[in-house]
Amino acid sequence: MKTGGMSYPRYIYIWIALLVLTAITVTTAGLNIGRIAIVVVLAVAAVKSTLVLLYFMHLRWEKRLILKLLVPIAIITLTIFIGLTYTDVLNR
Amino acid sequence: MEEREKTVGSRIGMWLFLLSEILIFGGLFLLYAVYRAKHPVDFHNASLDLSRFDGTLNTAILLTSSLTAVLAIYSLQELNKPKRTILFLAITIACGLAFLVVKAFEWGAKFEHGLYPRAAVLLAKPPGEILYFGLYFTMTGLHALHVIIGMCLLGVMIGYVRRGKASHEHTPVLENVGLYWHLVDIIWIFLFPLFYLIS
Amino acid sequence: MASHSEARAHEHEAWFLDNGKRPGLRGFLTSTNHKRIGMLYLVAVLTFFGVAVILGVLMRIQMLSPDSKFVSGQTYNVLFTVHGIMMIFMVVIPGIPTIFGNFFLPILIGGRDMSFPRLNLFSFYLYLAGAAVVLVSLALGTGPVDTGWTFYVPYSLNSTVNAPMAVFGVFLLGMSSILTGINIVTTTHQMRAPGMTFFRMPLSVWGLYSTAWVQILATPVIGITLLLIILERVFGIGVFDSTKGGDPLLYQHLFWIYSHPAVYIMILPSMGIISDLFPVFSRKNIFGYKTIAFSSLAIASVGSLVWGHHMFVSGQSDTASVLFSLLTFLVAVPSAIKVFNWIATMYKGSVKVDPPFLYALGFIALFSIGGLTGLILGALSTDVYTHDTYFVVGHFHYIIFGGMGFGLFAALHYWFPKMFGKTYDYKFATVSFFVLFVGFNLFYMTLLILGWAGMPRRYYSYLPKYTDLQVIATVGSWILVVGLGMMFGNLIYAFFKGKKAEANPWGGATLEWQIPSPPSAENFEEIPIITQGPYVFTKRKTDAEKEKKE
């Protein structure tokens, strides 16, 4: 599958971005910003995963619809499972 | 044309398998989500017993291994340089090994401090912390198992490249192993903040 | 006769004679041909079914009298546990996808094999391995598992029996299911013949396809849950242990997050086959093709949101219970839509009640009863009363046995001539059906009544006032078993001694009827080019012939 112009340098840029994001998330966790920290930290994790999915796993250049839908399907499924379980556990 | 379709077919199959792996960890993430919501303070306190340095180091190691994995595929698929591919694959495996070594030290430290399931020290702690460590060992353990499996697959790929079973024209199996390794990385990307970065 | 392909095959060798790489039994055991793998599953699944039926018969004998000493209480616990594990994980979940999915999916979409033939064979051996581990666990270690097929904690954590091994066997069975699901989804996307768009596929394929998604998404959750039981027992990690802050109810959540969608894995392929049968035996296009196709997807997705209805009385929060009850009522809608569409297909059609269609009609009756009793269980107030009684047992046997089971029997009678090239005795099949149907209802309707009267499930004894009904139920179970014996006996006899079958005994329009009975190893001489939907019929053969003569 053609990967639309990736090259050694471009892969390395993505890697650097991942390391920078890691540094950001570790720093954020060290600050004292209370409950919002979990949101930031998970959001950064989501961004890092998206970079890996799109550029390292080549989803960016994937043509088949079914493959582009798989990650959203996974996220929706887990959200539903955890969400509905929360309606029990948090209301007892 | 038929060859491309077979390649796509094998890629679809691999992605579906990865989907099932995500759901396996998903069950554990569900347990984590529930218990953290019920014991937020205990989870925070327990996380202080982990070394943020080790966790960050391991994150960097795995991210690097993801880079070398994709560079391995790129070197073969686009540049047709099998020797370089083997080098990158070997570095990826070495990163995996480094990850496991750090993890072994971490676990060793926990065992020394009595912070493992059924240990008296752990059982004396509040329930939230007991659950934290129960989940810690289960999730990082399952993840480490997948790292080991990934390393074995990468090793097999080195053999494939050497024998020409994976080549410039024929990379689907190598790509699929790469996908597996990247998933192992992504799972750690989430495990890291959930266990090490609770503020 | 309608034919929408150029798939005229020559006198190729039957699929089971084509020896591939190795002859005889070895050839069968190592072949990656989807039809041979389907046949292997057929033998395995029906064998486990037979064993599990015997366990059920033993349970019913125990229940003939309240002070029966036929088995001890402990043995009774083992009986219903193993009956459940075998039926659910070795028969009903894998059944239709592995037997008929493997055998017919490639043919129905105009392909030569599944996308991953070697993975397919591996799935079969994984299935056998899982089954073997479960069965061996009954004899090894500290005693056969007695926790119920649901393995609820804390009992499964503390019971001294060999639960870890049995649980690991189920884990392997789950892995096999996931791999089968991956194969089915990929095959459906990749192996369709030119012109076979998604909306020209037979609805049985839609049934298999929707099911495969549930297999991939839900099975891993029970996989990890079963592993956690083993980890809890061995290492004491504490996630389900209330003395360490764990919540036993979370086990139930994780368990039912899979096990509820699992019942849709059981029923969707069966409904798909029924959707194929109604057009053929009404000689009329299906009413509402797209609606039925989308309803399969709807059942698969909404059905993954209702698991909490197994936990209404376990201590779950009221908020969650209300939500789950509402979602449960919602999921009944697409199922009902299917039933309406099937019946509408018969309207102004030319209906012929051959044995396959007889079982399809039986399906409608039994599935409807089961579904309606589900409404009583889905409503919170009535569930408080009926939970853990025989009412539940009656409900799920109507749905699973009456639904999936009769769908399987219909598929057997429908595809038997195609698979083996032989005909069976239609009259005997019809008589068998009625014996089976009478026994079934005598047995399970009585269980519904007993449950409503308060008889708890999984008890090896009971209050004397239930005796008469228990006896009636047991007698019903015997009639049912006789019916099963007659039905399978008829087919087994035909397998060895049946007359040669024609290529298209039912006048079907889907691709499997355009190739010889039995099919050759590669299915099609040439891959067909599809130009129309799967249920386009002309008048009956005899009418068409009459017109030709005039």
Chain B positions in Cβ-Cβ contact with residue C182 (cut-off 8 Å)? 13, 16-17, 20
Q: Any residues with CB less than 8 A from the CB of A9 and at least 6 apart, and which?
A: none
How far is Cα of residue C230 from the mean position of the Cα atoms in its chain? 28
Tell whether A69 is within 8 A of chain B (Cβ).
Answer: no
d(CA C268, CA C292): 11
pLDDT at C280: 96
Q: How far does A72 lie from chain C, in Å, by closest CA?
A: 13
pLDDT at C529: 94
**What CATH number did the domain enclosing B160 receive?**
1.20.120.80
Among partner residues A64, A73, A80, which is closest to C305 by beta-carbon distance? Answer: A80
Residues 94-153 in C contacting B (C-alpha not used; CB under 8 Å):
115-116, 119
pLDDT at A32: 77
Q: How far does A12 lie from chain C, in Å, by closest CA?
A: 33
Mean residue pLDDT across chain A: 91
Note whether B130 contacts C115, CB cutoff 8 Å: no
Note whether C185 contacts B12, CB cutoff 8 Å: yes
Residues 8-37 in A contacting B (C-alpha not used; CB under 8 Å):
8, 11-12, 14-15, 18-19, 22, 25-26, 28-33, 37
Please state the length of chain C. 550
Note whether A77 contacts C217, CB cutoff 8 Å: yes
Q: Crossing angle for the helix pair C355-378 and C248-282, nearest 10 degrees?
A: 150
Q: Amino acid identity, residue C227? A: L
- Tell me, what DSSP letter sits at residue C456? B
Note whether B16 contacts C231, CB cutoff 8 Å: no
Mean pLDDT value of segment A73-88: 96
Which domains are assigned to chain C?
Answer: 24-549 (1.20.210.10)
d(CA C59, CA C55): 6
Q: How far does A43 lie from chain B, in Å, by closest CA?
A: 10
Q: Return the closest-CA partner of residue B107 out of B67, B144, B64.
A: B144
Cis amide bond preceding C154, omega within 30 = yes
Chain C positions in Cβ-Cβ contact with residue B140 (cut-off 8 Å)? none
> Would you state the structure tokens that stand for residue C449, as one six-digit string?
């009544």
Note whether B16 contacts C221, CB cutoff 8 Å: no
Q: Crossing angle for the helix pair C467-497 and C34-62, nearest 10 degrees?
A: 150
Does position B144 have pLDDT exceeding 50, yes or no?
yes
Chain C positions in Cβ-Cβ contact with residue B27 (cut-off 8 Å)? 220-221, 223-225, 228, 254, 257
How far is Cα of residue C367 from the mean position of the Cα atoms in its chain? 13
Q: Which chains touch B (3 or more CB pairs under 8 A)?
A: A, C
Tell whether B199 is within 8 A of chain C (Cβ).
Answer: no
Best mutation target, A27, A56, A85, to test chain B (most B CBs within 10 A): A56
Owner of token pair 């008469």: C468
> Would you state the structure tokens that stand for residue C354, as one six-digit string?
């051959």
Q: How far does A35 lie from chain C, in Å, by closest CA?
A: 23
Number of A to B CB contacts under 8 A, please give it.
114
Tell whether A52 is within 8 A of chain B (Cβ).
Answer: yes
Does position A46 have pLDDT exceeding 60, yes or no?
yes
Residue A6 — pLDDT band, cuts 50, 70, 90? confident
Note whether B26 contacts A11, CB cutoff 8 Å: no
Note whether A87 contacts C247, CB cutoff 8 Å: no
In chain A, domain spans: 1-61, 63-92
Chain A positions in Cβ-Cβ contact with residue C315 (cut-off 8 Å)? 92
Distances (CA, A) of C165 to C124, C161, C192, C385, C392: 20, 10, 41, 35, 28
d(CA B30, CA A85): 8
Does position A57 have pLDDT exceeding 90, yes or no?
yes
B102-120 per-position pLDDT tens digit:
999 999 999 999 999 999 9
Q: Any residues with CB less than 8 A from the CB of A23 and at least 6 apart, and which?
A: none
Q: How far does C114 lie from chain B, in Å, by closest CA?
A: 11
d(CA C360, CA C368): 12
Chain C positions in Cβ-Cβ contact with residue A77 (cut-off 8 Å)? 217, 304
Q: Which chains touch C (3 or more CB pairs under 8 A)?
A: A, B
Closest residue in C to A85 (Cα–Cα):
C253
Best mutation target, C184, C210, C217, C260, to test chain A (most A CBs within 10 A): C217
Note whether A73 contacts C319, CB cutoff 8 Å: no
Chain B positions in Cβ-Cβ contact with residue A7 (cut-off 8 Å)? 74
Owner of token pair 């720093």: A27
Sign of the C-alpha dihedral, residues C172, C177, C179, C180?
Answer: positive
Residues 14-53 in B contacting A (C-alpha not used; CB under 8 Å):
15-16, 18-19, 22-23, 26, 29-30, 33-34, 37-38, 52
- What pTM, to 2 d.p., does this model score? 0.94
pLDDT at C213: 97
d(CA B132, CA B46): 7
Chain B positions in Cβ-Cβ contact with residue A89 (cut-off 8 Å)? 34, 37-38
Chain C positions in Cβ-Cβ contact with residue A66 (cut-off 8 Å)? 189
Q: How far does C253 lie from chain B, in Å, by closest CA?
A: 10
On whether ipTM exceeds 0.90, the answer is yes
Determine the structural domain holding residue B151 and report its residue range.
Answer: 2-196
C-alpha distance across the termini of chain C, in Å: 17
Tell whether B8 is within 8 A of chain C (Cβ).
Answer: yes
d(CA C358, CA C365): 11
Chain B positions in Cβ-Cβ contact with residue A42 (cut-off 8 Å)? 190, 193
pLDDT at C27: 81
Hey, is C500 helix, strand or coil?
strand
Hey, is C389 helix, strand or coil?
strand
Spell out the per-residue pLDDT of chain C, length 550, in tens: 344 433 444 445 677 766 566 777 888 888 899 999 999 999 999 999 999 999 999 999 999 999 999 999 999 999 999 999 999 999 999 999 999 999 999 999 999 999 999 999 999 999 999 999 999 999 998 899 999 999 999 999 999 899 999 999 999 999 999 999 999 999 999 999 999 999 999 999 999 999 999 999 999 999 999 999 999 999 999 999 999 999 999 999 999 999 999 999 999 999 999 999 999 999 999 999 999 999 999 999 999 999 999 999 999 999 999 999 999 999 999 999 999 999 999 999 999 999 999 999 999 999 999 999 999 999 999 999 999 999 999 999 999 999 999 999 999 999 999 999 999 999 999 999 999 999 999 999 999 999 999 999 999 999 999 999 999 999 999 999 999 999 999 999 999 999 999 999 999 999 999 999 899 988 998 999 999 999 998 765 554 455 555 4
Q: How far does A9 lie from chain C, in Å, by closest CA?
A: 35
Contact between residue C66 and residue C467 where contact means Cβ atoms under 8 Å apart:
yes
Note whether A85 contacts C253, CB cutoff 8 Å: yes
Chain A positions in Cβ-Cβ contact with residue B48 (cut-off 8 Å)? none
- What DSSP assignment string belongs to C8-19? ---SPPBTTT--
Tell whether C317 is within 8 A of chain B (Cβ).
Answer: no
Hey, is C94 helix, strand or coil?
coil
pLDDT at C9: 41
pLDDT at C397: 98
pLDDT at C4: 40
In chain B, the number of structural domains is 1
Q: Which chains touch A (3 or more CB pairs under 8 A)?
A: B, C
